[in-house]
Amino acid sequence: MSKRGTGRGGTHKPAERDVLPAGVEVTDSELFFNRELSWLAFNDRVLQLAESADEPLLERLKFISIYARNLDEFFMIRVARLHEQARGGVARLVPDGASPGTTLDKLHEGIFEQSKRHADCFEQVLRPALAEKGLRILSVKELDAEQRAQVDQRFREQIFPVLTPLAIGLGRHFPYISNLSLSLAVLLRDPVAEEESVARVKVPKELLPRFVPLKGNIFVPLEDIIAHHLKDLFPGMEVLGWSLFRVTRDADFTVSEDAEDLLKAVETELRQRRFGDVIRLEVQAGMQPKLLEPLVEALGLEPRQVYEERGLLDLADVMSIVGTPGFPELRDPPWTPVTQARLRPDSESPDGGGTVMAAMRRGDLLVHHPYESFATSVERFVAEAVEDPDVLALKQTVYRTSDSSPLVPALIRATENGKQAVCMVELKARFDERTNIRWANALEEAGVHVVYGIPSLKTHAKAILIVRREGERVRHYVHIGTGNYNPKTARLYTDLGLFTTDPDIGADVADVFNFLTGFGRPKSFRKILVAPLTMREGLLEEIRRTVAAHTPERPSRIVMKMNAMVDPGIIRALYDASRVGVRVDLNVRGICCLRPGVPGVSEHIRVVSDLGRFLEHSRIYLFERGTEVRCLIGSADLMPRNLDHRVEILAPIEDPSLLAQVKDLVDRCLADNTHAWELLHTGQWKRRTPPPGGERRWAQGELMERATRMVQVQSGRPLP
């Protein structure tokens, strides 16, 4: 597997340590939180939602699954990198100063504590509570005679034929154990030879349901059925004991910057990913030493890589139970995204009745998903362009999409209709590489111009450019978003999308596509900020201008909403702003390395994290300087990778009415006191609660109500 690289695509390389604020003597460990431990605190907030009695039962089960899936990805990428650094002798991590080894030890301690809560929440709270409501997850031992007969038949007909028991030891090669696979370790005794041995049986959950459904909304874990029938798998042997285990492998890789064929290089790395080092071994609590010791020895693991789990392993799979039909009382009320008012076909709507591009010609549009529909905005925008005889070209970036996305097939239809179609497919989008390779091949076969980007950079920008002939000239129609062009996640993630015909933004986006498809490197842009070329310095300049404009009589304010706040240079600039009295409000869903509340450094900085029904995903950067307000939205979080090693776009919101919508959005998120946490200077996140007798605020609920109300008001009549 190729070694991880840092990339050479940016024009700015941040210093390892910038100058401390004047007159303040604090160490880095006092200025910055550890990135990995901050992520662990984020996943703890997800776990708290699973533990919250205020959430419906199946929503709590959903968060049990999300917590487990998040942790898997964290081990495959971040923990794997820490182990690599520890083996390589890296002594210090910038900027907080902790070594990889120290961080790994703290992670092991924190994950061990969280795992106990995770298991207890599922086994002791949710499992019995769901059973009371008629949705039961049972072991074979808990079934009645009729149900056991069903399980026995299912085992004989569907499960047994796909099982392959593999012996361990006795001169046999230790079997390959695939990433995230669930297995039974079985201790056997041969009564003839009077010898003990160990075997491994993989649980084939890729082929069969992990939770086998029976009549009456009963689910039985697949591994429990296999364990109940171990004698059928090992005839003539005595089964002395068994236990479950699961391995997690290093799934991170970096494609060489010198790769001549990026597609082949990514395909090669995907094949090698299967054989990444084992990073974690999960075992059932109480696993016999005769089973555990051979596993640990064969896999070459340290004690801090072994995790004992109480109850079921791999609870990410309970998401399949969340989707069980029925049980509306155990779920959030259904939400159907509304069509943005100016895109509704109502004749009574001021802007209704035309195409998306017609609405754009009347002024910029801002769509907020999932409150407003992705299908009737972004998908409709592309579909109309495909059929419009005056459209000359369509260009689109693809970072993450779905197999069912209509956007990429639309580019194929555009080519068939004689238009130029260009698709920038990011092959290196982690865990979506195979999907993107399939789309890239299909697009190329249809005649679409497919570009894979720059090996040293990931193209994370979300942009669509449509070129339309109008009389003697052409006009650019642009969509710039904060989220992926993925119809599935557009119903689950909160994201903003700007539709504009602004000629400067259109020319800028055209330059970005030329940068991606050719060899040009623009030195400047008219209105947008582009990483790795102008974004870092552009954001720092906005902060400096906000600091310069601040006075006690006319105070300035900085508001930022993002997924992660990690970059040391940006953090230090925000400390500078706080030192002169600028109020800084940060809405950070996940990682935050900035430490608020440090005397003389960050007393005017507040950090709030919102989690809830939808995944907060929009990135908004707002700078208030008296009567001047500068607002940017786009794809970039404030991390070194986004600012220096990815192609990202931030675009300005200039229309006063749209700007008011964005300010309303961020203020609601900052005011949330039911699904929000505030970061303390100690590093702890304190969950907010409504004050006694005070107003209860839930940003996502308010935004659903606002979306419905705005459509009703602007269309002149209530929704059906």
Catalytic residues: 460
Q: Decide: 68 and 118 in contact? Cβ < 8 Å.
A: yes
| C-alpha distances in Å from residue 208, one per residue of 141, 154, 204, 276, 403 | 21, 11, 6, 25, 21
Q: Decide: 562 and 597 in contact? Cβ < 8 Å.
A: no
**In whole angstroms, what is the distance from residue 253 CA to residue 531 CA?**
22
**Side chain identity at residue 32, one-letter code:** F
Q: Decide: 245 and 185 in contact? Cβ < 8 Å.
A: yes
Contacts of 36 (CB under 8 A, 6+ apart): 78, 79, 82, 103, 107
* DSSP state, residue 47: H
Contacts of 433 (CB under 8 A, 6+ apart): 266, 270, 427
Residue holding tokens 């479950």? Answer: 244
Q: Decide: 648 and 535 in contact? Cβ < 8 Å.
A: yes
Q: Decide: 103 and 82 in contact? Cβ < 8 Å.
A: yes
Task: Please name every residue paired with 571 in a beta bridge, in sequence order, or none if there are none.
Answer: none
| C-alpha distances in Å from residue 272, one per residue of 2, 249, 269, 400, 608 | 9, 11, 5, 22, 40
Q: Which two tokens stand for residue 306?
A: 């072994």
Task: Please name every residue paired with 464 in a beta bridge, in sequence order, or none if there are none.
Answer: 396, 479
What's the per-residue H, E or C state across 148-190? HHHHHHHHHHHHHHHCCCEEEECCECCCCCCCCCEEEEEEEEE
Q: Decide: 243 and 291 in contact? Cβ < 8 Å.
A: yes
Contacts of 123 (CB under 8 A, 6+ apart): 310, 311, 312
Burial of 630 (0-12, 13-18, 19+ CB in 10 A): middle
Q: Which two tokens stand for residue 658?
A: 């749209």
**In whole angstroms, what is the distance from residue 382 CA to residue 391 CA?**
11
Task: Please name every residue paired with 616 in a beta bridge, in sequence order, or none if there are none.
Answer: 494
* DSSP state, residue 518: S
Q: Which two tokens stand for residue 431?
A: 């865990």
Contacts of 486 (CB under 8 A, 6+ apart): 400, 401, 402, 405
Residue holding tokens 């107003």? Answer: 695
**In whole angstroms, what is the distance from residue 288 CA to residue 407 CA?**
53
Residue holding tokens 């996640």? Answer: 489
Q: Cis peptide before 370, with omega less than 30 degrees from 0? A: yes
**In whole angstroms, what is the distance from residue 397 CA to residue 665 CA?**
26
Task: Please name every residue paired with 650 in a beta bridge, in sequence order, or none if there are none.
Answer: 529, 634
Q: Decide: 281 and 292 in contact? Cβ < 8 Å.
A: no
**In whole angstroms, what is the distance from residue 253 CA to residue 85 CA?**
14
What is residue 673's three-state secondary structure? coil
Q: Which two tokens stand for residue 520?
A: 């040009």
